[in-house]
Structure formats: C-alpha cells, structure tokens
Amino acid sequence: MWKNRMIRSCWLILFLWSSVAGHAQNGQLTINETALIDGSVSMTASGYNYNPGILALLPNIMVKGNGDLNPVSGTNSALPLSKFTAMYVRGANHDNAITLSTTTAQSMTSELLSLLLLSGGPFTVKYEAPGLSATAWKAGTYSNTLAFSLSAIGIGSAVTPTQATLTVTVDPLITASSAPGNMALVVNDLKYFRNTTLEINNAFTLRHTVPVQLTLAANTAQLAFANGYSGVADPQTGVGKIQLQMTTPAGSILPLTTTSQQLVANAPVPVGNKTNFTTRFFISPSDLKTAFINKGDYSTTLTLQGTNTSPAATYSKVLNLVVTVNDLSEFNLSATGVTLPFQTAADYKNGVALDLTNHLQVSKTTPYDISVKAQTSDLTNGASGATVPVNILELGPVAGQSGVNTISALSTTDQLLVSGALPAVDRYLNIRYRIPPSRTQYLINKPAGIYTAVINYTLTAH
C-alpha cells in the first residue's frame, strides 16, 4: 500500500527579532539664551528600533514630517520644519544630518550604514536646530509629528515607532547681548556753556524672543552733588535738566523724570533675535549755565527696563549717570590800552574819566575774586623820563554796574576789584578809569608827553 513511498523532511527555521522594550523618546528642543548664544541646539532621542525581518533588501530608514511645527497656543506662525535636522546614530556610527521635510521622505542612512541594519537593533536620533541666527524665534511651544518608514520592504521588517513627535519650546526672554553702560558727561570746556550741547550716546543690544517695551526712569528727583568748591551749597539741580532721546529707533525728546517713560513702544522680534538700541542723553547750553554752573559732580541712577506682558519677560538694568563740571576759568579784557587825555584847563580842573563797557569778561565755575595792581609805582614819560605816581589813578564800576568795588588809589599791591562773586560764564563788567580833580595837581609842571604804566588784573578762586 505504501510501496515506493519516499519521505523527505525539512527544517522549519524561525527567525525572531525582538524590539527594545519601552517607548521611543520624542524630540524635544528648547531654544533659550544659551542656545541663541551658541547658535544651535540639539538633543538625542532614544528608544528607536529596526527589525530587519527576512528576505529584506538593504533598507534605508526614512523620515518625513507631517507638517510644519504648529504653535500649541497663541497666534505665532508655524515654524518651518526645514529649520531642523535629524541624524541616525547607532553606537559610534552615525550618518550625516538630513534636513527634515514635509514633502519628501528623507533617507537617514546611507548605503554603507544600511549594512549595519542587517543585524537590526536599537538606534537613536539626534535632532538639531542649526543656524539659529537665521530665524526670528518667537516665544512659544511648537509641535508636529514625524513619520518613520523603510525604503525596502521585507518579511517582518519594521522600524518602530512609525511616528514620533518633535516639539520645540522657545523660552520667553529679554536679556542683554551688549549691556548699556554707565554714563559720564564731562564739562571740560566753556564751549558747552555757550553754544555746544553736552551729550553722550548709550548704545546697547537686547536679545529677545518677545516684543520689547523699553522704559526709563530716574531714581531720584534731584541730582546728588559732591566734590564742589569748599563752602558751596548743594545747587539742588533737578534731573529734568537732563534730556534724553532714542536715536535707534528714532524717538521724541523727553526730560528725565522719576516717572517711568516709554522709550520704545514695541520692538518686534527680529531675525537673529537681537535688536540694537541707542539712547542720547544731553544738556543744552542754557540748562548747563542755569543748573550746572558750579564745579562738582552731579549724579543719579536710572532704571532701564525692557518688558513684555504675555508671555511675561523682563530685563532691568540700573545705570549710573554723572555730570562732572571741571574747574574752568577764562578772563579777557576788551581793550589792552586805556588813554586818559589831559588837553584843556577844564581837564585839570575837573579831572578825566573813561568808561569802558564790557571791559572785563569773566568765566569761572567756582566763586572768584578779581584783583588789580600796577606793575610799577609810577607812570613814566618814555621821552623825558619824568614820572607821575600811579596812585593818582582810581578804578571802579561804571554807574549801574553791581558787584564791583572802587579802588580809590591804584598801587603795586593787589586790591580786590571783585570779591566772592558767584560762578558765572561770560559775565561782563563795565569799568571806569579816573583821575579825580583832587589829584590833577600831580600833573602840574610835568613835561608834556605820554605817561604809561602796566596794570595787572588777576582772576582767582575766592
């Protein structure tokens, strides 16, 4: 019945590959200040696995985005998926990073690395956001899914998971990339009291992922006064004598005040996440003359703030502002030659006087004295050698000129023409030169001619 029966047997070989237990780690990138400074950010996600199955050709692991990264909340635009890359990593082996795409599945493995896939097993994916400076990163959370697949199909071959989520979180921040500095306005020339504005520019750069409202306030209503001339009282200069203006971006001129003032209403998030600002601080010549005439240091502190309400972010910096007025002085005479002519009998009877308007021009940032003296005790006739006592000459103020003493008799000793005058710039003094009738007798019987002497005026601190 079973004649000529032939029996053949075969082995049934079953290949089993097991996946790594657990779930794949989703991609999570956080763009914070450190990342923006470094210019890139990356993370490596584990839990991915390749099962080669049987009868598979050399496969490539493929990845494709299911869309750009959408904001989880808010009104920000989606982040293009092409801003990010992914890299296959297995132990010490890795392929080149590929740019993620929403339209085409990209191969994460080259043909050489595909040989490694013959044995199957776990791998990791390095997600990265390179070149951060080319994008305006706006605070928020953005997310979408990525689809993983194989380029060649084999029995039982698979890559897991087939879908993972890529999430990018941009931290809300306002920080200084280049911080604003302390400010020193130095009055080292009298031109600032006359016709030149005293000013300084404070340039700084903020790094931000939110729109920035920039405000500034003085922390005191009056400028503290120090290092003034001995005995000079605090001038109690108000901070409003200092003005400010945003020049980048352009803004209005504002007086400094203790009330927080808006300098920039809304600086948008720019590509590269850095915005340059420049604030100009200045004092006009007229305000300098009325409020900063005294030598010394005038100082206060300012609080500069950059804020955003939602999402909340704040930057705050306290700045020192000092106006230093140096000890400056200048002294000029409108005429270096003064002539008192005696030509008629009436001149000898009544005496001779000469009024010089604006004869002395004084500038001094401390209280001051003006003294006067003759270099010699006599006026000398250069032709004959005859002399006349210099003390016949009287100096003093022209009628209506205040703050000037009368020197009743000029001598070779300094006498105070002005004493303890308050600091001033370009104060003009009207001076009278006079030989009174009571002293014309010293000119009688003198040889005719010109009698001269040199008079010295000296400006000194009081």
pLDDT one digit per residue (tens) for the chain, 462 residues: 334 444 433 333 333 334 443 456 899 999 999 999 999 999 999 999 988 876 556 678 899 999 999 999 878 899 999 999 999 998 887 888 999 999 999 998 875 555 555 567 899 999 999 999 999 999 999 999 999 998 876 677 889 999 999 999 999 999 999 999 999 999 999 999 999 999 999 999 999 999 999 999 999 999 999 999 999 999 999 999 999 999 999 999 999 999 999 999 999 999 999 999 999 999 999 999 999 999 999 999 999 999 999 999 999 999 999 999 999 999 999 988 999 999 999 999 999 999 999 999 999 999 999 999 999 999 999 999 999 999 999 999 999 999 999 999 999 999 999 999 999 999 999 999 999 999 999 999 999 999 999 999 999 999
Q: ω before 172 within 30° of 0 (cis)?
A: no
| Backbone φ and ψ of 245, nearest 5° | -160, 130
Half-sphere exposure of 253 (CA within 13 A, CB side): 8
Does the domain spanning 175-325 belong to CATH 2.60.40.10? yes
Rounded to an integer, what distance in angstroms lies between the CA atom of residue 105 and that of residue 46? 21
Asked whether 128 and 108 are in contact (CB, 8 A), the reply is no
Amino acid identity of residue 375, one-letter, is: Q
Does the domain spanning 27-171 belong to CATH 2.60.40? yes
Strands 313-325 and 224-226: unpaired
Asked whether 317 and 179 are in contact (CB, 8 A), the reply is yes
What pLDDT is attached to residue 95?
80
Provide the 8-state DSSP code for 54: B
| Backbone φ and ψ of 125, nearest 5° | -125, 125
Which CATH code of 1.10.3470, 2.60.40, 1.10.10, 1.10.1740 fits the domain covering 329-461?
A: 2.60.40
Q: Do domains 175-325 and 329-461 have the same CATH topology?
A: yes
> What is the Cα gyration radius of the chain?
45
Asked whether 33 and 207 are in contact (CB, 8 A), the reply is yes
Q: ω before 161 within 30° of 0 (cis)?
A: yes
In terms of residues, how long is the chain? 462
Rounded to an integer, what distance in angstroms lies between the CA atom of residue 259 and that of residue 280? 18
Rounded to an integer, what distance in angstroms lies between the CA atom of residue 114 and that of residue 124? 15
Beta-bridge mates of residue 374: 455
* CA separation, residue 269 to residues 76, 136, 272 (Å): 11, 6, 8
Element (H, E) at 288: helix 285-291
Spell out the alpha helix ranges (H) of 292-447: 345-350
Q: Which residues of 366-395 are buried (b: 16+ CB within 10 A; e: fewer)?
A: bbbbbbbbbeeebbbbeeeebbbbbbbbbb
Rounded to an integer, what distance in angstroms lies between the CA atom of residue 83 and that of residue 102? 11
Rounded to an integer, what distance in angstroms lies between the CA atom of residue 167 and that of residue 70? 9
Strands 98-99 and 93-94: unpaired
Angle (CA) 30-72-149 rounded to 5° is 75
pTM of the model: 0.87
Domain boundaries, the chain: 27-171, 175-325, 329-461
Asked whether 78 and 70 are in contact (CB, 8 A), the reply is yes
Strands 163-170 and 27-31: parallel
Region of 236 (left: φ > 0; alpha: ψ -120 to 50; beta: rest) is left
What pLDDT is attached to residue 248?
96
